[in-house]
Amino acid sequence: MSEHDSAPAGAKPAPSNLVMRVLAALVLAPLTIAIAYVGGWLWVLLVTLVSIGLFAEWLTVVGAGSAALTGAGTIVIAMMGAAVAFGGLKTSVIIGLAGGALVTLIARGKFIWAATGFAYAAAALLASILVRKDLVNGFTALMFVLLVVWATDIGGYFAGRSIGGPKLWPRVSPKKTWSGALGGFVASLLVAVGFAACGLGKLAPLLLVSAILSIVSALGDLFESAVKRRFDVKDSSHLIPGHGGLMDRLDGFVAAILMAWIIGFLRHGVHSAGSGLMVW
C-alpha cells in the first residue's frame, strides 16, 4: 500500500502513526534484507510464512476465512514452499494446482474469491523464491525489486502529502493523487540510476525495468485497494504497527516480484530469472 493512502492529500501525518511506521520499517527492512542475503532455506521459510499470512488475510477480507479453508490453504502453500526449496519446481506447481482445486471446492459460495486469493499467495511464493534462487544475480535482482517498490511507496507518500492535487482513482482509493503516483515513479527511477552507478547493470535497461516494476507495483496497490473497498474493509489486519496487515504492506511487492520473474524468465529461463532481470 502506498504510504499516502492513509490520510488526505496535503494533510500532516499523525506523529504517533508516522513514528510507528518508521520504527516498524527500521526493524522489518533490515531483517528482510539480511534474510534475503542469506537466501537458501531461511528465505524460503520467510516467504512461505508470509504467503500463508497473505492467504489468511485475503480470506478474512473477502469474508471466507473458515478454519477448514485457511487450514487447507496453509498446508498446500507450506508443501509448495518445501518442494521449491528442494528443487522440485514441477512438484510445487502440481501441488499448487491440486491445492487450488481443493481450496475452490471447500470455499463453495466464495470459491472465485478464495481461488483468486490462493493464486495471489502462491504467485507471491513462487516468484519470490525463484528470483532469489538465481545463484549469480538472485540477491541483486531481489534487492532491485524491493528498492523499486519501497521507493515507489516512499516517493508517493511524500509527493502526495506535500503536493496534493487531483485524485488518481477516487472511487477505488480516494486519497491517492496523481502527484503521489508521479513522485513514486520518479523515485523508482533513482533506484535504477543508483544500481547503474554502482556497476550493477546498464542504465537504459534498468530505467526501463524500474519504470515497468514501479507501474506494476502501483497497480498492485490499487488492486488491493479495490478488493478492500469491495468488501468495505480498511486494513487487511493489524499485524504490522502503523502499516496494517501483510496485504497492505506487500500489495505492490507481490505484483512487482511476479512481473520481475516474468521478465527474467522470458530472457534467461526459469532458474536464472535474476540474471534475466539484471543482465542486458
What digits encode the pLDDT tens for the residues 210-221? 999 999 999 999
Given 96, 112, 133, the domain boundary residue is 133
Cell of 104: 475452490
Residue 10: pLDDT over 60: no
In this predicted structure, the answer to whether residue 150 has a pLDDT above a threshold of 60 is yes
Phi, psi of 176 (to 5 degrees): -85, 145
Q: Mean pLDDT throughout 205-209? A: 98
pLDDT value at 258 more than 70: yes
Take residue 165 and report the three cell numbers written for it: 492535487
Number of structural domains (the chain) is: 2
The tens digit of pLDDT for each residue in 167-206 reads 888 888 878 889 999 999 999 999 999 999 999 999 999 9
Residue 173's pLDDT is 82
Q: Are residues 164 and 71 in the same domain?
A: no
Q: Are 241 and 103 in contact (CB under 8 A)?
A: no
In this structure, are 9 and 33 located in the same domain? yes
Strands 173-177 and 167-169: antiparallel
pLDDT exceeds 60 at position 14: no
Q: Is the pLDDT of residue 131 over 50?
A: yes
Q: Which residue has 514501479 as its cell numbers?
A: 214
* Residues 26-44, mean pLDDT to the nearest whole number: 94
* pLDDT of 16: 62
User: Band of the pLDDT at 271, cuts 50, 70, 90?
Assistant: confident
Task: Say if residue 94 is in the same domain as residue 154.
Answer: no
Residues 62 and 185 in one domain: no
- Does residue 244 surpass a pLDDT of 90? no
- CB atoms near residue 165 (< 10 Å): 14
Query: What mean pLDDT do residues 116-144 have?
Result: 96
Same domain, 235 and 156: yes
Percent of the chain with pLDDT over 90: 72
Per the DSSP assignment, residues forming a β-bridge with 173 are 169
DSSP conformation class of 238 = S
User: Residue type for 78, please?
Assistant: A
Q: Is residue 58 domain-shared with residue 190, that is, in the same domain?
A: no
DSSP H or E stretch at residue 213 = helix 203-230
- Boundary (domain end) residue, out of 133, 157, 177: 133
Whether residues 67 and 25 fall in one domain: no
CA contacts within 13 A on the Cβ side of 196: 15
> Backbone phi, then psi, for 236, in 5-degree steps?
-70, -25
Domain extent for 113: 39-133
> Do both 120 and 258 map to the same domain?
no
Which residue type occupies 256?
Answer: A
Which pLDDT belongs to residue 62? 93
Q: Is a pLDDT exceeding 80 seen at residue 21? A: no
Residue 187: all three cell numbers together = 523515485
Q: What is the pLDDT of residue 73?
A: 96
Q: Which of 6-10, 213-217, 245-249 has the lowest mean pLDDT?
A: 6-10
190 grid coordinates: 533513482
Please enumerate in sequence order all residues whose Cβ is within 8 A of that of 272, keeping only pairs 6 or more positions apart, or say none.
134, 136, 137, 264
pLDDT of residue 13: 47
Residue 7 has pLDDT above 90, yes or no: no
137, 148, 239 from 208: Cα distances, Å:
18, 12, 34
Do residues 23 and 45 both lie within one domain?
no
Q: Both 107 and 15 in a single domain?
A: no
pLDDT recorded at residue 242: 64
The answer to whether residues 153 and 119 belong to one domain is no
